[in-house]
Structure 1
Amino acid sequence: MSQHLLLSLVILAISPIPGALQDTAVSPTQEEPEDLDCGRPEPSARIMGGSDAQPGTWPWQVSLHRGGGHICGGSLIAPSWVLSAAHCFVTNGTLEPAAEWSALLGAHSQDGTPDGAHVRAVAAILVPDNYSRVERGADLALLRLAAPAKLGPAVRPVCLPRASHRFAHGTACWATGWGDIQEADPLPLPWVLQEVELILLGEAACQCLYSRPGPFNLTFQLLPGMLCAGYPEGRRDTCQGDSGGPLVCEEAGRWFQAGITSFGFGCGRRNRPGVFTAVAPYEAWIREHVKGPEPGPAFPSQPQESHSGLQELRENCTIALPECGKALQPGTWPWEARVMVPGSRPCHGALVSESWVLAPASCFLDPISSDRPPRDLDAWRVLLPSRPRAERVARLVPHENASWEDASDLALLQLRAPVNLSAAPRPVCLPHPEHYFLPGSRCRLARWGRGEPAPGLSPLLEAELLGGWWCHCLYGRQGVPVPLPGDPPHALCPVYLEEEEAGRCWNDSRWSLLCQEEGTWFLAGVRGFSTGCLRPRAFSPLQTHGPWISHVTRGAYLEDQLAWDWGPEGEETETQTCPPHTEHGACGLRPEAAQMGVQWPWLAEVHVAGGRVCTGILVAPGWVLAATHCVLRLGSTTVPYIEVYLGRAGTSPLPQGHQLSRLVTSAPPLLCQTEGGSWVLTGMAVRGSRELFAAIGPEEVWISQTVGEAHFLSPGGSPYWPPEGSNLCHPDIAGASGSPRPALFLLLLTPLIQG
């Protein structure tokens, strides 16, 4: 497991080095004092996916503060002792000073101090000396309070299990805390204590779930002394800030602490239950170190483990499949939503949960007063597949940056009544911020916003993702670093062929990008910034907006990555920067090999009257460079009728209807790759040869004067010469004075030409 994953996804910051105490095996010889009752809250009405707890329900819950705020949870096990997690108190191998910590007891809300709540300073912090990192176990700590807690209806200790006790798999237990209610989504005011019911999972079932690739393609080895609780389908879990808090189970009228909240891979993710420190194995360690004249923790006798009426999960490993992103066939999208606003064209969006639709904010915001969403929501309707009636809209929530940047042109519409997802409408899956859509992913274009339908047939809507480096550098800035896998990309670039039939650019169209992973469809991107006719078109990735969507909806289906073939080790994880740019984007970028799309995107087919087909090179959006001897017949000065086809040369396979029986017959180019990764046109083959090339460098002045938009390599951008034995570009060819002068022909493209 990488440190990067753990730091970003565990419940709380991971602490790497051990504490100072020996885990000695001391057998209990004394009985608990009769006057210390435990695990019995006052009678009352009764986290992520959780709900507000009632006051007095969990009187052993402790909030541990540092720097004036809540950091971790804990549980009162004796008047002067609190049980928590080691990783809360160890930073960079050092145990933090106890004087910096305090314990808030008897609190129901963190907003103010209610009756019965009080604060105690922490006098000492003890952790096992075999604790090193949270994923290596022994993640527990004992805190000795400077003064005993005042026991009462709001403050009571919890019972602890004996080492011999085993909680039955399938038992419904409860976790409590003031942690985040979702990933990166803090508990809102008034910060009321949360409770969530979790199911204890057997070791085999939990290990089976963690043996499947999850976030960052990592697996995890469950160790002795660890306990799993949660659900294969996720959505209910502990989260950041709950660490150290108790997981309690009721037996024979008493509540016993089965576990201590330790860590997890995100919060509430599918097939990633929470991992807790099991309390029972540490009975001897707790008894050994909790000493003093006052009553210690209570370890009452427990009933024998019972399996009756419990769902057995001991050996049964049931992998939960995504509940979103299922379509019977591409193009028939069960999440397709049309928002009907009186006086406007329908706006296309996507159902992301049973109560929320995602759509472009520009469909609804008044451009003059874009900071004020419309108020006539009573007349709005949402049409969903196979729904007999239109849905009414209760609320519109635009993205806070919707009016300022195209990438945030998003809004969420809340339906007045949730739809039944067991029927035809189904939500689309959304990516987490670290989701990495693999190059070559098979994608489709779907309606988005107020765009017109796509011309041509449905298969033309197929697309394939290009690599992040190529896409980022095509539209990014020169010299900027390329986001690594696991970091949100700046753009997604699919290559698709619908414009081959249309013969035009679709600047006014609105599209979303749906990409498939193991049969599940993700909404990967939405329409991005304008790219004119430059292809491939870029889409704004949705990864960066996952936290916002999750925060607003509290139920959207964010899913982990399902496909993990990142290629040879290291290939996708080396930091790269972008090559030189022109005003039209990076020049000389060649996409990775793909099953569809252009391999050499600057190659052009120059069709000359009489059946000749020559090679041309796109040197600017409106100009193609070709060899004169290929275009003009020997001795002739009359320019024949010429057609230029862009985006076809080098495709594999060629678009249907454009198969060629003629070969490109003349003037192949010589291309060399620079250290920055871009390709440079170094020479053009001279007449009658495919091995002798004339240098392009000497023609820089003529080309620049004719084509102001052409980009020439700077003096510092020397070509990269491949290792010996490979196909080499001669290092001196660009400026060789003795090389033949090329006879070049520049073609000015007109709008009638296909592209």
Structure 2
Amino acid sequence: MARHLLLPVVMLVISPIPGAFQDSALSPTQEEPEDLDCGRSEPSARIVGGSDAQPGTWPWQVSLHHGGGHICGGSLIAPSWVLSAAHCFMTNGTLEPAAEWSVLLGVHSQDGPLDGAHTRAVAAIVVPVNYSQVELGADLALLHLASPASLGPAVRPVCLPRASHRFVHGTACWATGWGDVQEADPLPLPWVLQEVELRLLGEATCQCLYSQPGPFNLTLQILPGMLCAGYPEGRRDTCQGDSGGPLVCEEGGRWFQAGITSFGFGCGRRNRPGVFTAVATYEAWIREQVMGSEPGPVFPTQPQKPQSDPQEPRENCTIALPECGKAPRPGAWPWEAQVIVPGSRPCHGALVSESWVLAPASCFLHPSSSDSPPRDLDAWRVLLPSRPRAERVARLVQHENASWDDASDLALLQLRTPVNLSAAPRPVCLPHPEHYFLPGSRCRLARWGRGEPALGPGALLEAELLGGWWCHCLYGRQGAAVPLPGDPPHALCPAYQEEEAGHCWNDSHWSLLCQEEGTWFLAGIRDFPSGCLRPRAFFPVQTHGPWISHVTQGAYLEDQLTWDWGPDGEETETQTCPPHTQHGACGLRPEAAPVGVLWPWLAEVHVAGDRVCTGILLAPGWVLAATHCVLRPGSTTVPYIEVYLGRAGASPLPQGHQMTSAPPLLCQTTEGSWVLVGMAVQGSRELFAAIGPEEAWISQTVGEAHFLPSSGSPHWPTGGSNLCPPELAKASGSPRAVHFLLLLTLLIQS
């Protein structure tokens, strides 16, 4: 959360803050020196959403180095003193030794010759005694230089505000630094000082914004001594590496330092403005620490007082809504893009910003050379909704792993001319890496890559997201740890509400769109190559959020909008996966799924005439059923049989049909797998033919069937009304049990 790289530290100097929240008047012996000017800079015409500063524009900006590199920013307030943030130097209540730090002054670009710049060693570091962590305030530090800075056009001190100084809310101020240009996206070479204009926000407005649930339901209490600056819509902000740097406002031809870059929730996120330490609050503490230094910091009288006390009422706070992911109705996607490459079928992708389209890289790789995408972009075109003409392509950037990793089959296409997003088309929202799509989320499938139009009505493309444990373990390894909420998932599994009989969407030409609070996110791309295994699994997009953000410098990554964790609260316990086969983890029952797939191995066995039996799916081509249900007494002729999968109990039986077989007996292991223990004996719902003794017969007939090892079945829970007691799990089968069981081989039609 703090906007810098924290390092191990050692205790040095901690000083109390006497009268930190009191106004202070200058005594006759404390008059400002007339021979030291402050807040003057050379006239001139990245930080998130910022731009390169001109040399000499911010002569008080300094770079604090540790271990040979830039760590934090700071501001020169007197020839021998630099103001910065406490969290830059402290970890676990201790301070870095001052000798390990140095201050670089007068620098504009940190790469190449440092003309006019010079370095000073640090003699002492002082932080308030009551500083503990950034969220609790008092995040400031003073660095005493071993020798005074050499003042000149490129090195000048900034003016400091008195405790009585009032900065008007809404004032346009400027933050500067060499920090990240986006989250986890460092400033590129040549490391030129960045500047960004930010608006001061009133305390009530800032508190209103931070009272809205943000990443993982986090809120923040704005405390006295804190100052907020930014925009409700985000996209311009300070970031990691800018910590300790100044936020300055111009008044009467001088620049006053209103704030010290302290922390924020992410960088440039919607409704999450930057939080700064309010310098005016700490006038008394600063004066006490620098007492005796000649010359010291300058606290000029405010040129003019605000006309009124600008206390903003809470009701004036306007929460910014997402600028992405709005569709008039499901299926009418305003971000749908078709990339037209001469000689190829159209490739479907999604608009992710004003200038960029995301699509599968496999659409653009030469079949003869998977590592070499074509470069003849002049003939390429992009079709967007409601655009009268096709857009031209300026640049193609494929993911570095696109040619060998299906999960990274992504490419970004830059449009030559940015599109106007005030009307259609509109970009789709993208998730941050920590985004957690809640089980039960409403999702849709959308065309992706070179897929054909969907078969049947659009309702076939409705889906509901299943729990991460069930999805991860179905496609993961036995014993693998399931990612917790907040960790990027390995897969996303939607359960389709409807699906055409005999069709299993056995291709990779779909993307997964999930909705939160009326906003659509591109959640997944390309389903796993898994035949007809259910449910389909999609590669999550969120793992690629940083790459997309880095390339586009403006894609719409959006915070999570839905926080209903359900009655059990947040899932925080680490879970592992049960035994696994080549067709997925056996016996997994999803916790939340559409009606009919809660027991995904149940099958309806429809026998010619009026009988319907219960069957159990043992492998993709085999169903186990009770012999007495399928065969007539004394008959050895197998009747005409149809087997329906994935709908047991969800659809009404045909008129005149009735279920003639009781459900099988299932028990759950401590690892979470459900195990078929017995099949009902004819005429009884309490007596079962045990399955375990028939392992040899079933295994010989169905090589793909998975039996728990002998060491697996004893691990039964000792309690719970819906679980089997240990004696039942170990029950021996009747020698005639084989006569009660029938294996049906399925002819799969597509």
Tell me the TM-score normalised to structure 1 length.
0.95
Aligned to 1:514: 513
Tell me what 2:392 maps to. Answer: 392
Could you tell me how far apart the structure 1 residues matched to 2:355 and 2:378 are? Answer: 16
Give the corresponding residue for 1:143.
143
CA distance in 2, matches of 1:590, 1:532: 20
Paired position in structure 1 for 2:495: 495
Q: In structure 2, what is the equivalent of residue 66 of structure 1? A: 66
Task: Give the deviation of 1:92 after TM superposition.
Answer: 2.4
Residue 21 of structure 1, aligned match among 1, 11, 15: 15
Aligned-residue offset at 1:44: 2.6
Please give the secondary structure, in 1, of the residue aligned with 2:249: strand
1:281-360 → structure 2 map (5 Å cutoff): 281-306=281-306, 316-360=316-360
Which amino acid letter does the alignment assign opposite residue 457 of structure 2?
Answer: L
After superposition, the Cα gap between the structure-2 partners of 1:308 and 1:450, relative to the gap in structure 1 and judged at 3 Å, is farther
Matched residue, 2:697: 702
Given residue 694 of structure 2, which amino acid in structure 1 is its aligned partner?
E
Q: How does 1:581-592 map to 2 (within 5 A)?
A: 581-592=580-591
In structure 2, distance between residues paired with 1:417 and 1:619: 56
Letter in structure 2 aligned against 1:373: P
1:430 maps to amino acid: L
Verify: 1:566 aligned to 2:565, yes or no. yes
Whether 2:552 is the aligned partner of 1:553: answer yes
Q: CA RMSD in A?
A: 2.2
Aligned to 1:182: 182
Aligned to 1:748: 745
8 A Cα contact 2:690 2:733, kept in partner: no
1:711 equivalent in structure 2: 706
SS of 1:702's equivalent in the other structure is: helix
Three-state SS of the structure 2 residue aligned to 1:127 is strand
> Any stretches of 5+ residues in structure 2 without a counterpart?
none
- Shift of residue 371, structure 1, vs aligned partner: 2.3
Q: Give the corresponding residue for 2:104.
A: 104
CA distance in 2, matches of 1:597, 1:279: 62
Q: Distance in 2 between matches of 1:94 and 1:367?
A: 59
Shift of 1:616: 0.4
1:285 & 1:311 partners in 2: Cα distance? 26
The equivalent residue for 1:243 is: 243
2:676 is the alignment partner of 1:681? yes
Q: Distance in 1 between matches of 2:101 and 2:701?
A: 73
- What is the CA distance between 1:164 and its match in structure 2? 1.0
Cα distance in 1, alignment partners of residues 166 and 78 from structure 2: 22
Aligned to 1:233: 233
Amino acid at match of 2:436: Y
Question: What is aligned with 2:121?
Answer: 121
Change over 3 Å in CA distance of 1:430–1:684 after alignment to 2: same
1:68-217 to 2 correspondence within 5 Å? 68-217=68-217
SS at match of 1:306: coil
Contact 1:673–1:720 (Cα < 8 Å) also in 2? no
Shift in alpha-carbon separation, 1:23–1:40, aligned structure 2, 3 A: same
Contact 2:666 2:676 in 1 (8 A): yes
In structure 2, what is the Cα distance between the partners aligned to 1:83 and 1:57? 18
Q: Which amino acid aligns with 2:276?
A: F
How far the C-alpha of 1:555 sits from its partner, in A, is 0.6
Aligned to 2:264: 264
Greater CA drift, 205-214 or 21-30: 21-30
Shift of 1:663: 4.2
Between stretches 168-177 and 292-301, larger displacement belongs to: 292-301
Letter in 1 for 2:533: L
Give the 3 Å change call, closer, same or farther, for CA 485–58 of structure 1 in structure 2: same
Separation of aligned partners in 2, 1:335 and 1:726: 50
1:659, CA displacement in angstroms? 7.3
State the TM-score, normalized to the length of structure 2.
0.95
Q: 1:404: Cα distance to partner?
A: 1.0
Where does 1:336-735 land on structure 2 (aligned, <5 Å)? Answer: 336-499=336-499, 501-569=500-568, 572-596=571-595, 598-651=597-650, 654=651, 662-718=657-713, 721=716, 724=719, 726-735=721-730
1:727 deviates by: 3.2
Shift of 1:664: 2.6
The secondary structure found in structure 1 opposite 2:15 is coil
Q: Distance in 2 between matches of 1:293 and 1:450?
A: 71
Residue deviations 1:535-563 (CA, integer Å, cap 9, x gap): 11110000000000000000100000000
Superposition deviation, residue 113 in structure 1:
3.8
**Paired residues of 1:16 and 1:132 also in contact (CA < 8 A):** no
Query: Do 1:176 and 1:194's aligned partners in 2 also have CA atoms closer than 8 Å?
Result: yes
CA distance in 2, matches of 1:155, 1:641: 92
Task: Tell me: CA distance 1:116–1:580, structure 2 relative to 1, closer, same or farther (3 Å).
Answer: same
Alpha-carbon distance in 1 for matches of 2:596, 2:484: 23
CA offsets 1:104-161 (integer angstroms, 9 cap, x no match): 0000011134322100011100000000011110000000001100000000000000
Q: Deviations over 1:576-608 (max 9, x none)?
A: 011100011111000113344511000000111
CA distance in 2, matches of 1:183, 1:733: 56
Deviation at residue 166 of structure 1 after TM alignment: 1.6
C-alpha separation between the residues in 2 aligned to 1:593 and 1:243? 44
Alpha-carbon separation, structure 2, partners of 1:90 and 1:14: 8
**In structure 2, how many angstroms separate the alpha carbons of the residues matched to 1:258 and 1:565?**
39
Confirm or deny: 8 A CA contact 1:518 1:562 kept in the other structure: yes
Is the 8 Å Cα contact of residues 670 and 681 (structure 1) preserved in structure 2? yes
How much has 1:41 moved relative to structure 2? 0.7
Q: Partners in 1 of 2:330 and 2:654 — Cα distance?
A: 26
Change (3 A) 1:128 1:569: farther
Q: C-alpha distance in 2, partners of 1:569/1:101?
A: 48
Q: Shift of residue 728 of structure 1?
A: 3.9
Shift of 1:724: 4.4
Q: Is the 8 A contact 1:384 1:425 kept in 2?
A: yes
Q: Quick one: structure 1 residues 728 and 344, their matched pair in 2 at CA, closer, same or farther if it must change by over 3 Å? A: closer
Output the amino acid matched with 2:15. L
> Secondary structure of 2:75's partner?
strand
Secondary structure of 1:24's counterpart equals coil
C-alpha distance 571-692 of structure 1, shift in aligned 2 (>3 A): farther
Aligned partner of 1:284: which letter? A
User: How far apart in 2 are the matches of 1:117 and 1:659?
Assistant: 86
Q: Secondary structure at the match of 1:682?
A: strand
Q: CA offset at residue 733 of structure 1? A: 2.4
- Distance across 2 between alignment mates of 1:166 and 1:569: 48
1:404 partner letter: W
| Structure-1 separation of matches of 2:511 and 2:314 | 43
Q: Distance in 2 between matches of 1:551 and 1:691?
A: 62
Q: Deviations over 1:272-312 (max 9, x none)?
A: 00000000010000000013342000000003433699997
Match of residue 280 from structure 1: 280
Secondary structure class of the residue paired with 2:175? strand
What amino acid maps onto 1:394 in structure 2?
Answer: A
Return the alpha-carbon distance in structure 1 between the equivalents of residues 46 and 188 of structure 2.
Answer: 21
Secondary structure of 1:732's aligned partner: helix
Specify the code of the residue in structure 2 equivalent to 1:583.
Q
In structure 1, runs of 5+ residues without a counterpart are 1-5
Provide the secondary structure at the position in 1 that maps to 2:170. Answer: coil
CA shift for structure 1 position 346: 0.3
- Which residue in the other structure is 1:57 paired with? 57
> Would the aligned equivalents of 1:682 and 1:734 in 2 still touch at CA under 8 Å?
yes
String of CA shifts for 1:67-105, please: whole Å, max 9, x gaps.
Answer: 000000000000000000000000222111000000000
Q: 1:68 to 1:691 in 2, by over 3 A?
A: same
